[in-house]
C-alpha cells in the first residue's frame, strides 16, 4: 500500500464531477486500499477519489475514532436518496488544510451505493456519519466545503489563501 498525494485547493480535479465506477478489478482494490491508508495517515475521517487525483465516484469514510459503532465504509457510486431536517456542523477538509467552516447539511440521509466488491448497500445515517457522507459525495460532484459557505466568507477565504501562497513562495 502507498500513501497518495492529497490534492489541495485550487487544483482543477477537485472541481470536476467524478465518473461512475464500472469495473471492480484489482486496480480499483489497490486504489481503495491506498485511499484508506492515505486517509488514516492524513489523518481524516473521509477521503474521496478526486482528492487523490482520481475522477472516480469512490470514497472511504471511517468515523470509528469518534463513534466506534460505525466501521470503515467504502462507498462506490453513492447517491443520496433522501434527506431530512437540517443541522449546522463545523467541518474541515483535507484539501483545504487548516480551514474549517460551519456548514448547513441534512441531519439525516439515506445513501445507496455499492461496496468495494460491487454489491449494493444502503446506509441510513445521522450525526457525524451523515455529515461525512454528504461531504464526500460533494467531492464526487466537484463541490468543495467553500462552495457551501456564504459568498462573503468564500471571498475572505480566497483572499487569505492568496496571501498564504505569496508568503510560502
Task: Record the cell numbers describing residue 104, joined without a space.
Answer: 448547513
Q: Are 138 and 148 in contact (CB under 8 A)?
A: yes
pTM, whole model, 2 decimals? Answer: 0.94
Instruction: Give Cα 93 distance to the centre of its chain.
Output: 8
| 3-class secondary-structure state, position 82 | strand
Task: Confirm whether 136 is a catalytic residue.
Answer: yes
Q: In whole angstroms, give the CA distance from residue 46 to residue 34.
A: 13
Beta strands of the chain (E only): which ranges?
46-48, 58-61, 73-84, 87-93, 96-105, 108-114, 120-126
Show the cell assigned to 152: 462573503
Q: Which of 11, 90, 122, 136 is an active site residue?
A: 136
Task: Check if the beta carbon of residue 51 is closer than 8 Å to that of residue 61.
Answer: no
Structure confidence at residue 169 (pLDDT): 59
Locate 57 and state its grid cell: 465516484
Spell out the domains of the chain, with CATH numbers in brackets. 12-167 (3.90.45.10)
Q: Are 128 and 66 in contact (CB under 8 A)?
A: yes
DSSP state of 157: H
pLDDT in tens, the chain (169 residues): 899 999 999 999 999 999 999 999 999 999 999 999 999 999 999 999 999 999 999 999 999 887 777 889 999 999 999 999 999 999 999 999 889 999 999 999 999 999 999 999 999 999 999 999 999 999 999 999 999 999 999 998 888 888 877 666 5
Amino acid at each position: 500500500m502507498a500513501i497518495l498525494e492529497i490534492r489541495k485547493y485550487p487544483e482543477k480535479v477537485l472541481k470536476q464531477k467524478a465518473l461512475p465506477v464500472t469495473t471492480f478489478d484489482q486496480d480499483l482494490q489497490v486504489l481503495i486500499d491506498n485511499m484508506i491508508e492515505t486517509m488514516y495517515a492524513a489523518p481524516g475521517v473521509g477521503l474521496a477519489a478526486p482528492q487523490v487525483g482520481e475522477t472516480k465516484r469512490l470514497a472511504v469514510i471511517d468515523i470509528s475514532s469518534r463513534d466506534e459503532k460505525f466501521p470503515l465504509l467504502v462507498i462506490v457510486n453513492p447517491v443520496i436518496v433522501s434527506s431530512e431536517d437540517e443541522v449546522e456542523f463545523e467541518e474541515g477538509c483535507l484539501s483545504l488544510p487548516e480551514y474549517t467552516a460551519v456548514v448547513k447539511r441534512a441531519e439525516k440521509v439515506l445513501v445507496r451505493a455499492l461496496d468495494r466488491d460491487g454489491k449494493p448497500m444502503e446506509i441510513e445515517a445521522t450525526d457525524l456519519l451523515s455529515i461525512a457522507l454528504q461531504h464526500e459525495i460533494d467531492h464526487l460532484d466537484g463541490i468543495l466545503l467553500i462552495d457551501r459557505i456564504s459568498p462573503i466568507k468564500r471571498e475572505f477565504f480566497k483572499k487569505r489563501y492568496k496571501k498564504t501562497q505569496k508568503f510560502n513562495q
